[in-house]
Amino acid sequence: MGREEKAQYMKKWREDHKEEIIAYRIANKERDRAYNKKWAETNTEKVKAIAKRHRDTHKDEISEKRKRYYSTHKEEAILYRFEYYKNNRDKCLSYAKDWREHANKEEVSAKMKIYRAKNKEKLKEDFRSWHSANPEKRRSYENQRRAQKRNAPVVEKFLVSEIYERDGWVCQLCKEKVSAKLKHPHPMSKSIDRIIPLSQGGSHCRSNVHLTHLRCNVSVGVGGTKQTRLF
């Protein structure tokens, strides 16, 4: 008996013994569940491959089922997504980044281009609002971008407030207290200074920056004597 004939025979046998198969499965439900769980734990790669093959071959059907479920269980779906994201934030961010940058880069780029063209004024207003509401994040981002343009050997992501707290609000040049209330351009306001400047091959990292008064920062300038941090 060939492969095709055997498959047809098994299909007919299952159809003829449908009720018996259902009764057997119900009677051995717990045993089969335990066996399947054990098999899945020891064959994770096979399980992933089977699941992927199923999704690829039933893409439209799965999409339609999801739409039906979300339309009738909207609140439950939103709550589930929120809880899942909260408990798996790093995993979700990594998946989203991989989806945007590798699997669907051109599609995402085209959609974003259309969206930006349709919502030009809204995006400008959102950008201005974010800047005014997040001055610290904006400044940290600008410092990071400046370092990237200058081809700094190391570029770390950090907030300037981290440096203020680390240095205990003490100027690392004159060793006097720095007031958090004073703002630029007051000479005694807070300022972040690079120990080795970007122009001399310095990095944008926590160990290469410290807190200073604006006055002290300007007076030392590029090429002054500074103590390199050991942490």
Based on the domain organization, do 111 and 181 belong to the same domain? no
Which two structure tokens, joined as six digits, stand for 116? Answer: 């930006």
Q: Is residue 187 part of a domain?
A: yes
Residue 231 in any domain: the answer is no
Q: Is residue 141 scored above 50 in pLDDT? A: yes
The residue among 118, 143, 158 that closes a domain is 118
Is 90 exceeded by the pLDDT of residue 110? no
Asked if residue 172 has pLDDT above 90, the reply is yes
Range of the domain at 114: 69-118
Is 165 among the domain residues?
Answer: yes
Beta-carbon neighbour count of residue 190 at 10 Å? 24
> Which CATH number is 150's domain given?
1.10.30
Predicted confidence at residue 222, as pLDDT, reads: 53
DSSP code for 182: -
Q: What pLDDT is stored for residue 174 in this prediction? A: 93
Burial level of 144, CB count in 10 A (0-12/13-18/19+)?
Answer: middle
Asked if residue 17 belongs to a domain, the reply is: no
Q: Does residue 13 belong to any structural domain of this protein?
A: no
Decide if 23 is inside a domain.
no
Query: What DSSP character marks residue 155?
Result: B
111 with 187, same domain: the answer is no
The answer to whether position 215 is within a domain reads yes
Q: Given this model, what pLDDT does residue 230 score?
A: 44
Question: What are the b/e assignments for 125-135, b being 16+ CB within 10 Å?
Answer: eeeeeeeeeee
Q: Looking at the structure, do residues 145 and 187 belong to the same domain, yes or no?
A: yes
Q: pLDDT value at position 147?
A: 92
Instruction: Identify whether residues 139 and 111 lie together within a single domain.
Output: no
Share of the chain above pLDDT 90, in %: 44
pLDDT at res. 225: 46
Cβ(140)–Cβ(158) below 8 Å? yes
Average pLDDT of the chain? Answer: 88
Q: CB within 8 A of 136, min separation 6: which ones?
A: 159, 160, 161
Same domain, 161 and 194: yes
Across residues 182-200, what is the average pLDDT? Answer: 91
Work out the average pLDDT over 114-130. Answer: 90
Kindly state the average pLDDT of the residues 181-209. Answer: 91
- Residue 187: asked if its preceding bond is cis (omega within 30°), the reply is no
Instruction: Quote the Cα angle for 86-87-89, to 5°.
Output: 65
Whether residue 220 has pLDDT greater than 90: no
On whether both 114 and 144 belong to a single domain, the answer is: no
If asked whether residues 151 and 208 sit together in one domain, one would say yes
User: Could you tell me if residue 169 is inside a domain?
Assistant: yes
pLDDT band at 100 (very low <50, low <70, confident <90, very high): confident
Residues 189 and 214 in one domain: yes
Lowest mean pLDDT among 3-7, 82-86, 161-165: 3-7
What percentage of the chain carries pLDDT values higher than 70? 94
How many separate domains does the chain show?
Answer: 2
Tokens of 30: 């717990």
pLDDT at 103: 67
Question: Mean per-residue pLDDT for 1-13?
Answer: 84
Same domain, 155 and 113: no
Per-residue pLDDT, 227: 52
Q: What is the mean pLDDT of residues 178-192?
A: 92
Is the CB of residue 192 less than 8 Å from the CB of residue 160?
A: yes
